[in-house]
Amino acid sequence: MSKGFENFVLALTLVALAACDGQRDGPTTAAEQASAEPAVEAVTAPDVSHPPPSWQEAANMAYFGIFDEAVVLANGAWEGEPYVEGGASAPRAGLVDDFLLAGDLDGDAADESVVLAWSSGGGSGTFDYVAVLDRDREGVAFNRATAALGDRVKVRSATIRDGRVIFETVQTGAQDAACCPGQKMRRSFALEGDAMTETSTEDLGRLSLADVPGEWKLVAFGAGEAVPPEVEITVQFSGDTIAGKAACNRYTGRVLAGDAPGDLTLSGPLAVTRMMCPPALMEWEQSYVRALEGLVKYSFQAGKLLLSWRGEDDAGSMMFARVDEAEATAE
């Protein structure tokens, strides 16, 4: 037998032995099957059993990123120790009333909540913030991220779209005094991990009465006094005309814009119809017309319209919501 033939037989034998070794009688064990299969990473389904944090929860939790240390709100407000013992000036913070958005900001199929917060160090400035609220694994609400909007920023509108919070604001521009913002901006924020990051800004021009479209309904008067549901007071601007319903009667007049952004006064007396209504409605009407005759300014707060007035002995503001939004809230 030749040497080459012997090597060939030896090779066949080794191949056969290897094949036999790779096969065995009986079923494969679970451990062997698991080791033979490719590893599959476990995917945890998002926990959607908890709703987004509510306004009540938002008004009673700790917030970070406003002052150096966390502030713990109680019923939507916080006040620190006076800067001078016995003094009135102290740091303060709180939430903008009745503002809360809900939407998925991190792609986990569960909604987060968004609120607006403010702070004051005791001076003339009021700084505004956007805060994201989430829930931990136990379902407890907490402040996940906070980002600064700026000093005396007025929010005209806010929405959550494509995982981003988009604000249309009125803020201080290059030509504005700190007291009187008049620059319109569109600003987009995204939640990146546990940080709220501003991702884009867009200049929308200067503030004008054209930015107050449609009909608005009075929801708060003076020092935040809520308007009863049976009282219907509205306002609408068209060019230099102001018109609406004053609880009982209709009214109309003309307005004149001032030099500073938002400055607005009546250019003459209001024309009011003369129907008679129950005394309670007439009382509201008289208070509203008197305030409107002292109109000095318009601005925005968390998507609502503010009309400020000044009389001989007093001053205040009136808050309006868009008619469709006010009706939805009432329902």
* pTM for the whole structure: 0.79
Q: How far apart are CA 60 and CA 58, in angstroms?
A: 6
pLDDT in tens, 282-317: 999 999 999 999 999 999 999 999 999 998 888 999
Cα–Cα nearest to 320, from 308, 306, 309, 310: 306
| Radius of gyration of the chain, Cα coordinates, nearest whole angstrom | 32
Say if CB 187 and CB 157 are below 8 A apart: no
Strand pairing partners for 253? Answer: 242
Say if CB 134 and CB 146 are below 8 A apart: no
Which pLDDT belongs to residue 123?
A: 75
pLDDT grade for 324, boundaries at 50, 70 and 90 = confident
The full set of domains in the chain, from first to last, is 55-206 (no CATH), 210-330 (2.40.128.270)
Tokens coding 110: 């569960």
pLDDT in tens, 212-248: 999 999 999 987 789 999 999 999 999 999 999 999 9
pLDDT in tens, 60-115: 999 999 999 999 999 999 999 998 888 888 999 999 998 999 999 999 999 999 99
pLDDT in tens, 29-48: 444 444 444 444 444 444 55
- State the DSSP code for 313: S
Please count the other Cβ atoms lying within 10 Å of the Cβ belonging to residue 93.
22
pLDDT in tens, 51-68: 999 999 999 999 999 999
